[in-house]
């Protein structure tokens, strides 16, 4: 079990860097490949539906891996598993860069997604170990910010690299970053002994009502945020008639806002408490979703941007409050497992937002081939989708309205 007294304070820039870099890599790996999908389709002479597996394999492997990542980390040690996962991520990036066929690239991306699951989970777990009781929210806010930075960097970095060095460059660029993260983790983080956990904890010993509510809210809010990434480009290009460059610029507003709102959201959680911060954050997300259903109809791009400016900080606040509530009182040898459940619920929400809400959008448009629909049909689909998204957040508010008991019981062995 990790001895938190041997760790440097959470405010130390070296330990913060050691945990921020893995989170950055995991989020960068999620977003950087998406912009290369058209290029990959041409390079491998495959259809768009086939090349989509480059992105799906990463996210699916990340989701599946979170089922066991927490237990493995709690059993074999958090630092040890972080070093192994950084090495795995780097090797998978190299294999992706040299892949001769699409199937090999998809397989390498699946391995990289599994490594990313460990990186995200262990970053949260170790940051919780480092943070004192009064600064847990701030610590989680740092990781939320870094995750947003990685997500924002992906499309822009890929857009620069592909014309210069080709699609293989988007994977090769991850190697020096992973190497740096590995060196910093080995040098800065203390040696961690093996946990006393010898078998996976039964779900009933971990999942109480408080944690179940936290995970449910995390899932629903992640689904709404993914909806903006799936539906937004179609509405901006087909509904408002923007060119690709302008669409990319507008879509970058959300990640850019997230970069600046992540750390303040953590401080607000420490100041307000998790329950108050969560309710305010959910209210902002609901307002943002309703704004996306209405404001663009009257104000065009300006209305869309304004809605994102409201929705994104609300999402950051919900993330910081939810993660803090889930990890604050969990005993050390169960924190990896709980962190894994948090990442799992987020990923399920992302997949649900991409699939289910995408289907709602297509239904609202009224055409199987959304790309051929007119602007009025696209607008109808947009309104229906985000009205339903607002309803999902309303359900989250209902779940969160009662102050839950401490999550402390969600980590104690019986």
* pLDDT, position 115: 93
* pLDDT, position 136: 67
- Judge if 191 and 249 occupy the same domain: no
pLDDT reading at 102 higher than 90: yes
DSSP code at position 101: S
Separation between Cα atoms, residue 372 and residue 367, nearest integer Å: 8
**pLDDT cut 70: percent of the chain above it:** 82
Q: Which residue has the higher pLDDT, 401 or 137?
A: 401
Query: What phi and psi, each to the nearest 5 degrees, are found at residue 7?
Result: -85, 155
- Judge if 255 and 176 occupy the same domain: no
Separation between Cα atoms, residue 36 and residue 45, nearest integer Å: 14
Q: Which residue has the higher pLDDT, 155 or 362?
A: 362
- Give the mean model confidence (pLDDT) for residues 332-358: 76
- Name the residue among 277, 252, 43 with its Cα closest to residue 156: 252
- Judge if 66 and 132 occupy the same domain: yes
* pLDDT, position 295: 93
| 86 contact partners, CB below 8 Å, separation of at least 6 | 22, 25, 115, 119, 178, 181, 182, 185
Place 197 in a pLDDT band, splitting at 50, 70 and 90: very low
pLDDT tens digits for 43-88? Answer: 898 875 677 788 888 888 888 887 787 778 777 888 888 999 999 9
Domain end marker among 153, 168, 200: 200
Q: Which two tokens stand for residue 309?
A: 């400016």
- Give the mean model confidence (pLDDT) for residues 276-298: 93
pLDDT tens digits for 135-187? Answer: 666 777 777 778 777 876 776 677 778 888 889 999 999 999 999 999 998 88
- Judge if 146 and 19 occupy the same domain: yes
pTM over 0.75: no
Q: Which residue has the higher pLDDT, 194 or 147?
A: 147
Residues 260, 265, 268: CA angle, nearest 5 degrees: 140
pLDDT reading at 305 higher than 60: yes
Which stretch of 35-44, 97-106, 324-333 has the lowest confidence by average pLDDT?
A: 324-333
- Judge if 335 and 299 occupy the same domain: yes
Structural domain count, the chain: 2
Separation between Cα atoms, residue 27 and residue 258, nearest integer Å: 13
Q: Which residue has the higher pLDDT, 250 or 380?
A: 380
DSSP code at position 3: -
Separation between Cα atoms, residue 210 and residue 150, nearest integer Å: 30
Domain end marker among 168, 200, 232: 200
- Judge if 135 and 82 occupy the same domain: yes
Q: Which domain holds residue 224?
A: 203-414
- Give the mean model confidence (pLDDT) for residues 346-353: 80
Instruction: Calculate the alpha carbon distances from 351 to 54, 107, 366, 398 in Å.
Output: 14, 19, 22, 23
Instruction: Calculate the alpha carbon distances from 275 to 31, 144, 209, 244 in Å.
Output: 31, 18, 15, 40
pLDDT reading at 379 higher than 50: yes
- Judge if 246 and 330 occupy the same domain: yes
Domain end marker among 200, 231, 248: 200
* pLDDT, position 3: 42
- Judge if 225 and 325 occupy the same domain: yes
- Judge if 214 and 183 occupy the same domain: no
Which stretch of 85-99, 162-176, 276-290, 339-353 has the lowest confidence by average pLDDT?
A: 339-353
Are 308 and 258 spatial neighbours (Cβ–Cβ below 8 Å)?
A: no
- Judge if 176 and 207 occupy the same domain: no
pLDDT reading at 410 higher than 50: no
pLDDT reading at 362 higher than 60: yes
Q: What is the CATH number of the domain that holds 82?
A: 1.20.1250.20
The mean predicted confidence, pLDDT, of the chain is 80
Separation between Cα atoms, residue 134 and residue 126, nearest integer Å: 16
Are 314 and 191 spatial neighbours (Cβ–Cβ below 8 Å)?
A: no
- Judge if 28 and 127 occupy the same domain: yes
Are 77 and 195 spatial neighbours (Cβ–Cβ below 8 Å)?
A: yes
pLDDT reading at 25 higher than 60: yes
- Name the residue among 302, 311, 143 with its Cα closest to residue 225: 311
Provide the 3-class DSSP secondary structure of residue 320. Answer: helix
* pLDDT, position 412: 43
Place 188 in a pLDDT band, splitting at 50, 70 and 90: confident
pLDDT reading at 4 higher than 80: no
Provide the 3-class DSSP secondary structure of residue 270. Answer: helix
* pLDDT, position 100: 95
- Judge if 9 and 158 occupy the same domain: yes
- Give the mean model confidence (pLDDT) for residues 302-330: 86
């Amino acid at each position: 079990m990790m001895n938190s007294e041997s760790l440097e304070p959470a405010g130390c820039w070296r330990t913060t860097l050691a945990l921020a870099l893995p989170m950055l890599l995991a989020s960068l790996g999620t977003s950087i490949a998406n912009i290369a999908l058209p290029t990959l389709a041409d390079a491998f002479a495959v259809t768009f539906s086939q090349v989509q597996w480059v992105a799906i394999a990463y996210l699916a492997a990340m989701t599946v891996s979170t089922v066991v990542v927490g237990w493995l980390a709690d059993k074999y040690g958090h630092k040890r598993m972080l070093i192994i996962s950084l090495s795995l991520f780097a090797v998978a990036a190299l294999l992706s860069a040299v892949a001769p066929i699409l199937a090999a690239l998809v397989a390498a991306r699946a391995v990289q997604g599994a490594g990313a699951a460990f990186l995200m989970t262990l970053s949260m777990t170790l940051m919780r170990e480092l943070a004192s009781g009064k600064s847990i929210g701030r610590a989680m806010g740092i990781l939320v910010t870094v995750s947003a930075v990685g997500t924002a960097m992906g499309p822009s970095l890929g857009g620069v690299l592909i014309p210069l060095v080709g699609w293989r460059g988007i994977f090769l660029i991850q190697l020096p970053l992973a190497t740096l993260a590995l060196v910093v983790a080995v040098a800065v983080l203390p040696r961690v002994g093996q946990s006393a956990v010898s078998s996976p904890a039964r779900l009933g010993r971990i999942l109480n009502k408080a944690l179940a509510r936290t995970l449910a809210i995390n899932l629903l809010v992640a689904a709404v945020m993914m909806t903006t990434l799936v539906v937004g480009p179609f509405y901006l290009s087909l509904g408002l008639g923007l060119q690709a460059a302008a669409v990319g610029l507008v879509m970058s507003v959300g990640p850019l806002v997230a970069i600046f709102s992540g750390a303040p959201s953590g401080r607000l959680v420490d100041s307000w408490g998790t329950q108050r911060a969560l309710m305010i954050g959910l209210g902002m997300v609901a307002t943002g979703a309703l704004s996306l259903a209405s404001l663009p109809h009257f104000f065009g791009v300006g209305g869309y941007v304004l809605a994102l400016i409201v929705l994104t900080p609300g999402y950051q606040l919900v993330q910081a409050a939810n993660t803090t509530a889930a990890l604050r009182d969990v005993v050390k040898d169960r924190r990896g497992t709980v962190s894994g459940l948090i990442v799992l619920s987020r990923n399920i929400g992302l997949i649900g937002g991409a699939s289910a809400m995408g289907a709602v959008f297509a239904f609202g448009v009224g055409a199987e081939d959304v790309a051929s629909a007119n602007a009025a049909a696209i607008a109808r689909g947009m309104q229906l989708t985000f009205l339903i998204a607002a309803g999902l957040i309303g359900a989250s508010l209902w779940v969160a309205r009662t102050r839950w008991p401490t999550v402390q019981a969600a980590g104690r062995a019986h």
